[in-house]
Structure formats: structure tokens, C-alpha cells
Structure 1
Amino acid sequence: MNVTTFSRSPRVYTPANALDAHAEQLQAQTLGDLLNGDPQASQQRAEELRFTLDAHHVDLHVDFSKQRVNEHTLALLLDWVRSCNLVEKRQAFFDGAKVNPSEQRAALHMAARWPEGETPPGGMQDAVNFCLAQRQKLADLVERLHAREWFGATGQSITDVVHIGVGGSDLGPKLISEALGSRPSQTHVAVHYVSTMDGAQLLPLMERLDPATTLVVLASKSFTTADTRFNVHTTLTWLSEALEIDVPTLCRHQLIGVSSRPDKMTEFGIPEAHQLVFEEWIGGRFSIWSPIGVSVAMQLGMATFDTLLAGAHAVDRHFLETPLEANIPVLMAAIGAWNTQFLHIPTHAILPYDGRLSSVPAYLQQLEMESNGKSVGLDKRAVTHATCPIIWGDVGPNGQHAFYQLLHQGSHTVSADFIAVAGREEMAEGELGEALHAQEQLTLANCLAQSQLFALGDDAIPAVARGAMAQGYRGNQPNSVILMKRLDGFNIGALLALYEHKVFVQSVLWNVNPFDQPGVELGKQLATQLYQQMTSDAENGADACDAVTDPSTQALLERIGAWRQ
């Protein structure tokens, strides 16, 4: 009998295929093997996976040694990075190429932090000039406020600022305000942030702020976002009724607009002198460096705001000029993609060990998931592998009393970034200073211990304690440790810029557009239709379910209607 045989064609080599094969081989090697194997090799590996950025007042240290990578992994990852033409795409990014093809725009948020007098890449000069002009206008407004020369509609000096925005128009400024303005002694003006659609954040402010001395910052790139529009309407109604002054007058005296749409700000009644503009080529989640940060400058002063920009710019230069092998955002991105795409780890925890950084997880959720949470590539084809992981987290010491139990002894694999501050300025002397210093040391010890336990599991338990302690710590959870020498404008600016460039590099690896967000639009449209239906039905007394297409939503509308009657 004749038997026809078929030979299998050899798999075509690509860096991604090589990484797939390497991941299968590495599964048999634990982090314990990598960290505590041959002493000399482990020590050398640890040294090669530590990187320090100490330029232009920035002091950041990143340790990748608790990641599930070895020398061969890094070589393959860098081959992958090069095969995706990152170097050329990085240059095009800084040169102002239209890296956002769906909206036919550049993405030049780096221009907003480019210093005066330093020559930018060729295609960025006009953008830098525009941003410098707006930064000067912002500084003039801040100086006027700090000099107590900004008067409300009744002639009284402004004492409080209510910043109204959502998403990128809220998360960045709020993060910086919390991180650097944690003590009243550090602030010039009190700033309050309002973002929630339901008005719950406004109500307590209306009860305790003086409407005659309250300035409103309306921050909205499109100037059409429903959340912001409704909050501003309610705020202006409160001011108008409390002061018995018409809204147009209040807009002239107690309202600043920050948007990419000066025409809409003018139409709203904001005078040109109180308008700050950023262009369409700055995305909302990349906009803290733009006039969106005006409330940070009002609260903390222009000097602090300038250090924020300088820290981010130092990372821009590092990203643009440093070889890939030592380029921190490139390595962050490649290792993160390795965890998600090849080790199949679906979630990534952000665990800051400093209460002043409590908003970092929420900020990075938007930055990473809104940017790279895509399933369609630039070639319009479906992406066939995982892209951005689910980003989540909390202040580390709080998490230790909440979800760390699952991370240590549950069945889920996660990756993590531990973020810590090595030291802070002395705030007190004597016994009080010693007590605060002890708390700081305990926090750092917990950060390092948890990073170690994530990686090593039961192997981290000292030999003398085994048998006396519960075991079952799974370990093998890859994590990085990011240390800041101190928490100041330079370092927090650098930290956020590291993550921005990480997002860009991963978008290149995954071939997605990180600068659009089509997935957020449909929900807004459906909500608008339901809102219009609910309000018109309430006015007309009609059945509120005519346009609803599913029985679940219909039943919920009926319940809401019954209770609201």
C-alpha cells in the first residue's frame, strides 16, 4: 500500500515567534531560580537589570530584576522592538508626523514641556512656539491670582478655585495636586476638583465655599463633554443665585476656560483674556503639561509647575537619545508586553507606597487602557493576541489589608509595579520627627518585602521561621520596583513621562493607535438618547420605554420612574 506523507513546513522565524517559543521554555524556570540560582550569575543579572535616571534634577531608579526575564529574553525583546522599526517611528513621533491616523493628527504633548531656548526636533518648532505662548499667558493669570489682583463679580479677591473636568482634564491635575500639595503650607490657593457626573462633589463645595471669592476653571478639550457641561451649569447657577448676579457677568469675572476650541469658549461668554488653548495634537490623557495644568500652577505656583515640565522633558531626552538597551521606557514597554502577550498575564497592579500617590493607579488606568485597549490594528485587521492588560491598584499598605491575600495565595497571576519614595523632607523635629521618620522607614520596608514575596513566595520565608509560619505563598509574580529619591515636581513629572513613552512603545509593538479612543463614544451617545427620553417622558407623562430595545434596560427605566414619582 502506498502511503503519502506530508512534511510540515518549518515555522517562519520572527522575533514574536521566537518569544513564543522562549516563553514555553522559561515556564520551567521560576523567579526563585533567576534570583537565587548561581550566586555569581544572579548578582550579575541583578546588576544588569537596574537602571538609574539622574539628569536635570531627576532621581529615578528602576529595578527589573524581579521580572521573569533573562539575558536571552532581553535580547529577543530588543530584536522585536527593532523589527517593529521603533527607532524610526520614535523620530517621526517627535518630528510631528501624523501618528494618529484615524484623526489625521500628530501627537505632540512633548511640545508643551519643551523648554524655551532648547532647539526641538525639526517638525516640532511651531508647536513649541505655540505652547510657550500659552504657558506665558498661563503664568500671567497665575501671577495675577497670587498677587490677590483677581477680583470676582462683587469686587472681592479670589480665594478658592473649583476645577471642573473629567478624564484627562481631571486625573492629571488632581494627581499632581495631591502628590505635591499634600500640606496647606505648600499651597498658594485652595483648589477643589469636580468630575463626577452626578453633582455629588459639588454639593459640599456649595455649602462651604464663598461664592463671591470662588473662581471656576472649565477644562474640556472638546468643550462639549456632557459631564463637564452639566457641572459647570450647576456651578454657575449656584453662583448666580447666591450672589444675585447674572451668568454672563459671572463668566466675565469668575470663569477660566481651557480647551482646544476657543470659538466655543467665546460663544459661552468667556473673555479671550481668560481663555487658555491647547491644540488638537495634545490628547486629553497627555494634557497635564498643557494649560490643563493651570489649577496646579494656581495651587502650587509656577516654579513647581515648571519643575513638573522639566522632569518630563528630561525623560523625553532620555527616550529620544538613549540606546535601546538602556532606555528605561523602552524596557518598561518591552517587559510589560512580554508579560501580557507571551506570559499571558491579564492584569497589572500599580502599587504606590506613599499616600501622596494614591491617584497614580487611576491616572495610569486611563493613560494605558484608553490608549492601548484596542483589538483592531493600524492595518484595520483584528489583533490576534492580547494587548494592554487591565490596570488596577491602590496604595500598597492599604492593599496589604485587602487584596494581597489573593495575590499571594490565590490562583491568579498578576504583574506589578511597586512605586516608592526613598525619603522626604523633615517636617518636624524631636520626637515627632523621629516618629514620622520611623513610619517612613516602615513603609519602605513593607514595599521591598512585598516585592520580594511576590517574586519568591515561600522561598522568601527565612529558614528559621519555616514550620512556624503559614506557607502556600505562590510567588513567581513578576514585578518592577520604581524608586524616587524624593517626591517633587521633577520626579513626578519624570515618572508620568516614563509611562507615557512606555505606552507609545507598546503601541508600536502591538501596531495599534494609542492616540484615539473610539470605544468611549457609543456609550455616550446611548446615554444622551436615554437622557433625552427620560426628560421628555417626565415632562409629557409618557411611557419612558418607547425607544428602549432590550427588556433589562426597559425594566430598570420603569423602576427608576416609579421611584422618582
Structure 2
Amino acid sequence: MYTSSPQRLSRVYTPINALEAHAEHLQAQSLSDLIGGESKAACRRATDLAFTLGPLYLDLSKQRITSETLSLLVDWAHSCGLESKRHALFAGDMVNESERRSALHMAARWPADAAPPAGMEEAVEFCQFQRVRLTAMVERLHDANWFGATGQAITDVVHIGVGGSDLGPKMISEALAAGCPSQKRINVHYVSSMDGAQLLPLMERLDPAKTLLVLASKSFTTADTQFNLRTALAWLSEALEIDVPTVCRHQVVGVSAKPEKMSEFGIPTEHQLIFKDWIGGRFSLWSPIGVSVAMQLGIESFDALLAGAHSMDRHFLEAPLMESLPTLVALVGAWNCQFLKIPTHTVLPYDARLKSLPAYLQQLEMESNGKSVCLDGRSVTHATCPIIWGEVGPNAQHAFYQLLHQGGHTVSADFVAVARREIEAPQAVCDLLAAQEQLTLANCLAQAQLFALGDDAIPTVLRGHMAQGYRGNQPNSLLLMKQLDAWSLGALLALYEHKVFVQSVLWNLNPFDQPGVELGKKLATSLFNVISGNALEQSLVKDPSTQQLLNKVVEWR
């Protein structure tokens, strides 16, 4: 194993103190020092810091770590009780303490033919029942047996949600829809923005008689989704000259944790899919929230997505920490943020089908661990989750890589790449597309190398013939997928979910609540009433700046 020199600690030994001393030691070594050259040590390092799980390959060799770093990080995880807390998560214990509930999104992807862990049985049974209902809805739609209020078969689905009810399903649809046979029968469109900008174009081009609305909302009270749903229903009602309750009975599917609210709204029971409050919104794409994905891709693809995620669940639950991909990714991420003081982390997918992956991970990670108060009420004394951002890699190269390579900011990065893609097209087109894919992969590998090595990556023959000043020393991981299919994508996303949980254990946080988003919503409701002409709400405006802006908005409206 590759190791660096042991350090003498001046303080009482704790895993945190040991990591702080180790970080200080490594600051004197660059990534070029660690990975440069073709020595036996460098080759051994590349082997020791690479990990494989089925069609996923994780390369950590361009991180500013050694095998000793990983050993110290695993010691830290042990000291935080990660194994016992991992067991509590899968056993359905009350890990979401502020909301006094468990977090059992894994139950939504547990196979019917596999025994769940003790404590998860009822959750899995409930999820299986809902999966049967979801499957029946999808098959009815694909068999052209779902008819709108005027008797015409449904051809288009408008998925209305926001946050976790939108980002995950939308990303899956974008990544996997190309070339899927069911897409020829059912088109799925996603609406999340509260300003109507996404809904209006759909209202102009879709046939209202053949359009099904899927309202995905855990609480069934989110203002964004309620406004979009009511506007869409008004469009259908006016266009079809049929009253809203009748349209609602035929052309609305509700997905929520509140069946009573769906019934009150007028959605018939047979068009309702339910998930429990122990599935958080940003962890919900595996639940009935993913029904639009299944409608577009078909049940086989949706089941493969769940199977890939379940495989990662079993790996996370059973693998030793030093071999667990989610644990390793989490530990290295915490190392970069807390000990190397790197405040931002960029996600760079080198496949345009994954264009929404950075946005999905922004919510998953920052809404989960973007907190500064521990479970025991004490303040966190260090940075927790870094700022997550990113873009499709080839586009990013022409946008912000200049700053990353030669600016003054240090970032960490995840490069995500796909090794191969099967395409049905004429041979000449396939050959050209294969060359494009190879160029994309070459760019991904080159940029990961340049992030790490900087000027030292410049070949000898080019020195003196091109600008230097590439700063390097930017730690990065590369996640390589054999191919972008439903199974692999499910495993990848589950890896990131478990990464979030591991880091919450390290930082003693609750990753399953989001109190920081609530106050803004309440203030927005009050200001909406002011803009709408309710003078009684004026007293809630607390500052002259906001009052001045309100006055201007009212004037211009």
C-alpha cells in the first residue's frame, strides 16, 4: 500500500487531530509529487486508489490523498459510529429526529423477491403495493387504453412538480429517453417554474384532449405546483369545453403523501399514487414520484433503474468501509471541504445526456447537509457541505475552465464519463459518432489530468511553444460508467444518496430535513398578498428596500 511518513501529533490523539496534522503534512506535497512519473509507487497508487462495482469505476488517484489518508478517514468514520448508524438507517429507526420519522427511500427500490432488513418489512410491503398500482397505470397508458374526457387516447404527459418532485424524474428522462420505444407512444414534459414560462409553450402545442397531467407533490400544498396545476386545468377545461371536475376525473394523476388532499381536490382514488412521509422529496424519484419516468421509458427500464439503486444499497450496507464506494466518495469529499478548506465542488459530466446531473446533486447535497447546527443543537465549527455547481464538461471547457486552470480559486471536482454508447444508425453515421465519443472521452481524461498536474502535464515537446501558468493541484475524482443505461444510472444516483448520509454522520447533521427553505416560502406568501392588493399584509414588510421594490412592482403592473 502507498503510504506517506507518519506524523508526530502534539495533541491528544483523536481522528480529527490526526487528520488535521496529516493535512498540514500533505499541503507541502502537490498532486504532481503524488502521482507524477512512471515509478512503481505511482503505478501502485493508481491501482490502490481505483475501485470497481459492476459497470461503475471510481478513480480517486487524482485526489490529494494517500492510502494513509484513507486509513485515517476510515478511522474517523468508525469513531462516528458509521456502521451502527448505517444499520439504523436500513432498520427504519428514527434517523430524521427533527421530524420524528425514519428515512426509508431504499424501501421503494427493494425487490419483491429479496428479504428486507428487519424493521423495513412494512415499508417494503407498502412500496410494493404502490409499484403494482403504478405498473397498471403505465400499462394502461402504453396500451392506449387511457382516454381523456372526450374519449381520445392519451399521447402526452405533463409532469408538474418542483424540487425533488421534478429534478430527479426530469434528469432520468433526459438521460435515458433517447431511442426508447415507449417514447414514440408517450411524450413526457416537465413543468416546475412558478412563473408559467414552461407551461405556456406546452399549452400552445399539445392537444388538450390527449394530455394527462401528473401532479407530483409530497404535501399537495406547494404553491408552485398548485398554481401550475390550476392553470393547466383551466386550459384543458376551456379548450375542451368541459368543467374542471370532469377533466380532473379523467386527465389528472396525483402523486402525494396526502391521499385525503388528492381526494378533496377531485382526483379519483384509482388515479392516486401514494408514498409515505418517510421518503424525503429529494430521495423520492424511486417512489411513485417516478411514475412519469415509467410512462416515458416503460416499466422494464424503470425496474432496471430501481435494481441498479438497490445493488448500490446492498453494497453500501454490506461492504467494509474501505471498500464501500459511497463511503469513500463521502470521506474524500469531507476531506477536501473540512481539512483542505476547498469551499466549492464542481460536477462535470462528459455526456450531454447527464446535463441535469449537477442541478440534481445541488439539491441532494446542499439541501441535505447545508447546515451549521449539529443534532445536539451545537454549532458546527467548520464548513460542511461545499457549494455544488457544474455543467456538461465540453461546454464548461469553453466557459469557466480558463478560471479553473489559471485563476486563483481552488475547487474539487467529479468528472463523470461514459465509456461506450450503442447507437442505431447508418454505419457511416455510427463511425462518425464513435469518433465524437472518443474525442469526448479524451477531453475528459485530459482535463482531469490537467486539473491535477497543471504545467507538469505539458508534454516535453510542447514546452516553450505554448502558454504555461496552469495551476494544477485541483483534486478530482473520475466516475466512469461502462454505458449509460437505467441500471448504471440508478447505481450512480444511489451512490450519491449514500454519500450524503455518510457525510451527515461525519458532521453530526440531520440530512433529511430542510428548515432553511421554509421561512422564505412564508415571506413570499405574505408579499404575494401585498402584490395582489391585500393592504392588511403591508405591516409584514420589514425593510424600506423591499417596500420600495414592492411599490415599483405594483406601479408597473
TM-score category, normalised to shorter length:
over 0.9
Aligned position for 1:427: 424
Pick one of 204, 226, 231 that aligns with 2:223: 226
Q: Distance in 2 between matches of 1:484 and 1:436?
A: 18
Going from structure 1 to structure 2, the CA distance change for 1:10 and 1:343 (only over 3 Å counts) comes to: closer
Residue 132 of structure 1 pairs with residue 128 of structure 2? yes
Q: Which residue of 2 aligns with 1:101?
A: 97
- AA aligned to 2:541 is V
- What CA distance in whole angstroms lies between the structure 2 residues aligned with 1:389 and 1:456? 23
> CA separation in 2, counterparts of 1:225 and 1:545?
23
Residue 13 of structure 2 is aligned to residue 13 of structure 1: yes
Q: Secondary structure at the match of 1:221?
A: coil
Secondary structure of the equivalent of 2:474?
Answer: coil
The separation in 2 between residues aligned to 1:407 and 1:235, in whole angstroms, is 43
Give the secondary structure class of the aligned counterpart of 1:485: strand
Q: Is 1:563–2:553 an aligned residue pair? A: no
Q: Could you tell me the TM-score, scaled by structure 2's length?
A: 0.97
- The 5 A counterparts of 1:429-444 are 429-444=426-441
Candidates 60, 66, 69, aligned match of 1:64: 60
Shift in Å, 1:38: 7.0
- In 2: Cα distance, 1:10 partner to 1:39 partner: 33
- Within the candidate set 170, 176, 182, 1:180 is matched to 176
Say which of 297, 301, 325 aligns to 2:298. 301
**Cα-to-partner distance string for 1:109-137 (whole Å, 9 max, x where unaligned):** 00000001100100000000000000000
Distance in 2 (alpha carbons) for counterparts of 1:562 and 1:429 = 59
Contact 1:544 1:558 in 2 (8 A): no
1:393-439 CA-to-partner distances (Å, cap 9, x unmatched) read 00000000000000000000000000000000033232211111110
Q: Distance in 2 between matches of 1:488 and 1:436?
A: 18
CA–CA distance in 2 between the matches of 1:365 and 1:70? 28
Give 1:418's aligned residue.
415
1:276 aligns with 2:273: yes
Q: What code does the residue aligned with 1:65 have?
A: S
Distance 2:166 2:240 in 1: 27
Alignment of 1:83-94 (within 5 A): 83-94=79-90
**Aligned residue type for 2:514:** Q
Q: Distance in 2 between matches of 1:123 and 1:426?
A: 44
CA–CA distance in 1 between the matches of 2:475 and 2:407?
15
Aligned pairs (5 A) from 1:89-488: 89-183=85-179, 185=181, 187=183, 188-488=185-485
- Counterparts of 2:538 and 2:459, CA distance in 1: 64
1:545–1:557 CA contact under 8 A, matched in 2: no
Corresponding residue number in structure 2 for 1:512: 509
Contact 1:422 1:486 (C-alpha < 8 Å) held by counterparts = yes
Q: What are the within-5 Å matches in structure 2 for residues 517-532 of structure 1? A: 517-532=514-529
Q: Structure 2 vs 1, CA of residues 10 and 415 (structure 1 numbering), >3 Å: closer, same or farther?
A: closer
**Structure 1 SS opposite 2:483:** coil
Distance in structure 2 (CA, Å) of the matches to 1:37 and 1:441: 25
- Map of 2:3 onto structure 1: none
Provide the residue aligned with 1:549 in structure 2. 542
**Post-superposition shift, 1:174?**
0.2
User: 1:472 Cα deviation (Å)?
Assistant: 0.2
The match for 2:23 is 23
The offset of 1:13, in angstroms, is: 1.7
Displaced runs of 4 or more, over 3 A:
183-186, 542-547
Structure 1 residues 470 and 213, CA gap change in structure 2 (3 angstroms): same
Work out the CA distance in 2 between the residues paired with 1:552 and 1:441.
Answer: 53
Please give the per-residue CA displacement for 1:369-411, whole angstroms capped at 9, x wherever unaligned. Answer: 0000010000111000110000000000000000000000000
Hey, what's the Cα distance between the residues in 2 that align with 1:78 and 1:561? Answer: 57
Report the more deviating stretch, 66-75 or 130-139.
66-75
* Most deviating of 181-190 and 309-318: 181-190
Whether the 8 Å contact between 1:545 and 1:558 is mirrored in structure 2 is no
The whole-number CA distance in structure 2 between the counterparts of 1:548 and 1:194 is 31
For residues 546 and 92 of structure 1, do their structure 2 counterparts lie closer, same or farther at Cα, with a shift above 3 Å needed?
closer
Q: Indicate if the aligned counterparts of 1:544 and 1:557 stay in contact, CA closer than 8 A.
A: no
* 1:510-560 Cα distance to aligned partner (Å, 9 max, x none): 0000000000000000000000121124xxxx6985432111111111111
CA contact (8 A) 2:451 2:474 kept: yes
8 Å Cα contact 2:526/2:537 also seen in 1: no
| Structure 1 unaligned blocks of 5 or more | 1-8
Q: Is the 8 A contact 2:414 2:479 kept in 1?
A: yes
Note the C-alpha offset of 1:10: 5.9
Cα deviation for residue 561 of structure 1 reads 1.3
Task: Name the CA shift for 1:122/1:153 in 2 (closer, same or farther; >3 Å).
Answer: same
Aligned partners of 1:38 and 1:70: how far apart in 2? 17
Q: Do the aligned partners of 2:182 and 2:298 also contact (CA within 8 Å) in 1?
A: no
Asked if 1 retains the 8 angstrom alpha-carbon contact of 2:180 and 2:297, the reply is: no
User: Cα distance, 1:199 vs. partner?
Assistant: 0.5
CA distance in 1 between counterparts of 2:179 and 2:221 reads: 34
Whole-angstrom CA distance in 1 between matches of 2:369 and 2:322: 23
Contact 2:343 2:387 in 1 (8 A): yes
Query: Gaps (5+ residues) in structure 2?
Result: 1-8
Q: Which residue of 2 aligns with 1:4?
A: none
Amino acid at match of 1:195: S
- Cα deviations by residue, 1:329-369 (Å, 9 ceiling, x for unpaired): 00000000000000000000000000000000000000000
CA change 1:121–1:543 in 2 (3 A) is closer
Contact 1:451 1:479 in 2 (8 A): yes
> Given that residues 346 and 390 in structure 1 are in contact (C-alpha distance below 8 angstroms), is that contact kept between their aligned partners in structure 2?
yes
What per-residue deviation string (whole Å, max 9, x for no partner) do you get for residues 286-307 of structure 1?
Answer: 0000000000000010000000
Contact 2:481 2:488 in 1 (8 A): yes
Aligned letter for 2:18?
A
In 2, Cα distance between equivalents of 1:514 and 1:545: 36
- CA deviation digits over 1:257-302, x for unaligned, max 9? 0000001000000011000000000000000000000000000100
For residues 318 and 337 of structure 1, the distance between their equivalents in structure 2, rounded to whole angstroms, comes to 21
Distance in 2 separating the partners of 1:464 and 1:335: 35
Q: Distance in 1 between matches of 2:248 and 2:422?
A: 41
Letter matched to residue 177 of structure 1: S
Q: 1:5 is matched with which residue?
A: none
The RMSD of aligned alpha carbons is 1.3
Task: Give the equivalent residue in structure 2 for 1:33.
Answer: 33
| Alignment match, 2:6 | none
Query: Cα deviation per residue 1:1-28 (whole Å; 9 max; x = unaligned)?
Result: xxxxxxxx96322101111111111000
User: Secondary structure of the residue that 1:152 maps to in structure 2?
Assistant: coil
SS of the residue 1:161 aligns to: strand
